[in-house]
Structure 1
Amino acid sequence: MSIDTFKRGLVAGAIGTLFLGAAATGALAADIKERSIKLPIVNQLDHPQGLGAKKFADVVSAKSGGKMKVKIFPGGTLGGEQQVASAMQGGTVEASMMAPAQLVGMIKEFVLLDFPFAFANEREADFVLDGPVGKKLMDKLPEKGLVGLSYMEQGYRSITNSKRPIQKMEDIQGLKIRTILNPLYIDMLNALGANAVPMPFPELYTAMESKAVDGQENPYSTAEASKFYEVQKYMSNTRHIYNPQMLLVSKKFWDGLSADEKKIIQDASVEARDYQRKVAREMDQKSRQELIKHGMLINDIAPAELQRMREKVKPVVDKYAAQVGEPLVKEFQAELEKARVAAK
């Protein structure tokens, strides 16, 4: 080997070592602390909500080199959504996933996303949630002690009950239907002729088993994962409200994070969102088939009957639209129209 070749080898080796050293120093220099993040959810780990939470936990761990660990508490073990939201505001729980509908008591504008029969399909929902209206709603969270990261999916809510199938609007008359602690949901079900019974989700199965309520309204995946087929005979495909899920963190927790840690959590939330939406949509029809296998009788509803239901709840929509305010409602409707035009 010539002296020149030997020198060139030394220089190349030194440069390679320098680059490796710089990369290692960069990783070590990232401002990431050992952190344990509690993330309670009301559903089980095999529910789309649980799968989204698990994906988020895995990505946070991978991106932080195992320093930031997300511990999931499924099945409402830390309480219902209202309790968890309060715990997040107080800083004793770091993160959670829940429907924006659960937060209407503190931010009235979130009711916009619950307008009955607003979203014709998931594509429209994605367009609105990931656009300026979705961001405008999330921007209201920090003043209430929460930070929104991304919108995932729970799905379309339909009614189950233990008494009869719902083929027409009159079949809802007199049924005691559990719903969430949200005034619009209560008004909507009452307008359709039901007796709405607001109740935390962890109490629901027992209430249906004891016949304290006749039924409830949730997507197929929730009914399957929670084994509602054990205490409910009928499920009618009303698809009356589309429910997103929101991945949230406590503002007290968020404010204590470094810029590097915030980026890890934000990036993980987007990756988890895209994965969770895909999985939720794949699981929807699978869950329907599983419910049927377990003996639940599922029926679709004629378009004319669904239109009657839409007309019946229109005064409820108008009531809450007035509370939200005309500018935001118009912006919401304009985004929906854009989504429909884009799909043509």
Structure 2
Amino acid sequence: MAFKTRTLLLAAALMTALAGPAAAQKVLKVGIGLSDDHPQGLAVKKFGELLAQKSGGKLNAKLYASGSLGNDVTMTSALRGGTLEMTVPDSSTLVSLAKDFGVINLPLTINTEQEADALLDGPFGQKLLDKLPEKGLVGLAFWENGFRHLTNSRRPITKADDIAGLKVRVIQNPLFIESFAALGANATPMPFTELYSAMEQKAVDGQENPGATILASKFFEVQKHMVTSRHIYSAWVLLLSKKTWDGFSADEKKAVQDAAREATLFERKTIRDFSDKALAELKKEGLQITELPAAEQARMRTKLAPVVAKFSKEFGEATSKEMFAELERIRARK
């Protein structure tokens, strides 16, 4: 009997050992609008590797790229509903949930990547992320999208006035719409997932995005001209569903946070390296690139001043003042 009992116990232990890890493993679906070889996609994969390491294999992340699970708005909504675990939307798409996020995109406000890091990794950035849990979201970190540039299929942009009359696709966000309207463009909001075909079919003349996105999305195939306008700094937010977060143990939460922190450093380095090479690659692919002279960027700033003033109030005067004051402190420390 003792032998049979030991055999049964060993068999039970073996079955538990085999079934345990599979049963305990949680796979987080991460949806993004960009391709899997874009720096954002590479960073999500890195996050998944780090998460598996730090959780002892209990947590894993699986990437769903190229808008296969929807666009930024629909995926964020899925997180709030608990039907998707993670996504990495542009911060501008969160304005409808927490208007303060809009201040990040105020035109010609953030000057360098280093300023952006100091601002978003500090108390100001954390204050923004703290507004998300009540909306059913947990913000883990800010990732870099980069400074946005304008492309089009009609003409080179050598001065601010050249933007007038172009039909430009913009993010579905009033600040972006009014910014390009102030520059004289016909601003046309649409989801990113529809953009390539819209340019291919000449439904829009152009678009505005960072160089890494322009290259990775192969917009050079349907665009002729690009100007390095750096008109808006753009950030992504690494988001997790609060319903998913609330189901984690304390150890799992720590693993997620630690993986997010390391993946953020990886993402920023990756996208900056990629962006440095992007301009040369885009030129090689035939895109004609012009640089907006400082005097013309100053003219652009003047045209956009009423928009900055209006949206500083709309997004929250206190938040806007806090951001501008923090940027001044960051610049003073240089």
TM-score, length basis structure 1: 0.89
Asked whether the 8 Å contact 2:99–2:316 carries over to 1, the reply is: no
- Per-residue CA deviation, residues 133-159 of structure 1 (Å, 9 max, x unaligned), is 101111110111100001110111010
Question: Counterparts of 1:166-315 in structure 2 under 5 Å?
Answer: 166-315=157-306
Asked whether the 8 Å contact 2:179–2:304 carries over to 1, the reply is: yes
Q: 1:170: Cα distance to partner?
A: 1.4
CA distance in 2, matches of 1:151, 1:217: 20
Question: Counterparts of 1:127-166 in structure 2 under 5 Å?
Answer: 127-166=118-157
Of 23, 26, 35 in structure 2, the residue corresponding to residue 44 of structure 1 is 35
Of 65, 68, 74 in structure 2, the residue corresponding to residue 83 of structure 1 is 74
- Per-residue CA deviation, residues 39-84 of structure 1 (Å, 9 max, x unaligned), is 0111112212112111111100111222212110011111110010
Of 44, 54, 59 in structure 1, the residue corresponding to residue 45 of structure 2 is 54
Q: 1:169: Cα distance to partner?
A: 1.4
Asked whether the 8 Å contact 2:80–2:136 carries over to 1, the reply is: yes
Query: What one-letter code is carried by the residue in structure 2 that aligns with 1:87?
Result: A
CA distance in 2, matches of 1:246, 1:48: 14
Query: What one-letter code is carried by the residue in structure 1 that aligns with 2:53?
Result: A
Of 60, 64, 74 in structure 2, the residue corresponding to residue 69 of structure 1 is 60
CA distance in 2, matches of 1:33, 1:196: 49
Q: Which residue of structure 2 lines up, in the alignment, with residue 3 of structure 1? A: none
Asked whether the 8 Å contact 2:165–2:186 carries over to 1, the reply is: yes
SS at match of 2:156: coil
Query: What one-letter code is carried by the residue in structure 2 that aligns with 1:38?
Result: K
Asked whether the 8 Å contact 1:48–1:154 carries over to 2, the reply is: no
Q: 1:107: Cα distance to partner?
A: 1.0
Q: 1:102: Cα distance to partner?
A: 1.0
Asked whether the 8 Å contact 1:104–1:110 carries over to 2, the reply is: yes
CA distance in 1, matches of 2:162, 2:133: 43
Query: What one-letter code is carried by the residue in structure 2 that aligns with 1:148?
Result: G
Q: 1:224: Cα distance to partner?
A: 0.5
Query: What one-letter code is carried by the residue in structure 2 that aligns with 1:314?
Result: A
Of 318, 323, 327 in structure 2, the residue corresponding to residue 332 of structure 1 is 323
SS at match of 2:333: helix
CA distance in 2, matches of 1:150, 1:36: 20
Gaps in structure 1 of 5+ consecutive residues: 1-31
CA distance in 2, matches of 1:68, 1:79: 23
- Per-residue CA deviation, residues 81-103 of structure 1 (Å, 9 max, x unaligned), is 00101101000110111111111
Asked whether the 8 Å contact 1:168–1:301 carries over to 2, the reply is: yes
Count, aligned residues: 314
Q: Which residue of structure 2 lines up, in the alignment, with residue 22 of structure 1? A: none
TM-score, length basis structure 2: 0.92
CA distance in 1, matches of 2:255, 2:240: 13
CA distance in 1, matches of 2:215, 2:198: 17
Asked whether the 8 Å contact 2:105–2:233 carries over to 1, the reply is: yes
CA distance in 2, matches of 1:285, 1:260: 38
CA distance in 2, matches of 1:55, 1:86: 24
CA distance in 2, matches of 1:52, 1:153: 11
SS at match of 2:60: strand
Q: Which residue of structure 1 lines up, in the alignment, with residue 15 of structure 2? A: none
Gaps in structure 2 of 5+ consecutive residues: 1-22
- Per-residue CA deviation, residues 187-239 of structure 1 (Å, 9 max, x unaligned), is 00000010011000110000000000000000111011010010001111111
Q: 1:325: Cα distance to partner?
A: 2.7
Asked whether the 8 Å contact 1:101–1:110 carries over to 2, the reply is: yes
- Per-residue CA deviation, residues 249-271 of structure 1 (Å, 9 max, x unaligned), is 00111111111111000000000
Query: What one-letter code is carried by the residue in structure 2 that aligns with 1:268?
Result: A
Q: Which residue of structure 1 lines up, in the alignment, with residue 20 of structure 2? A: none
Q: CA RMSD in A?
A: 1.4
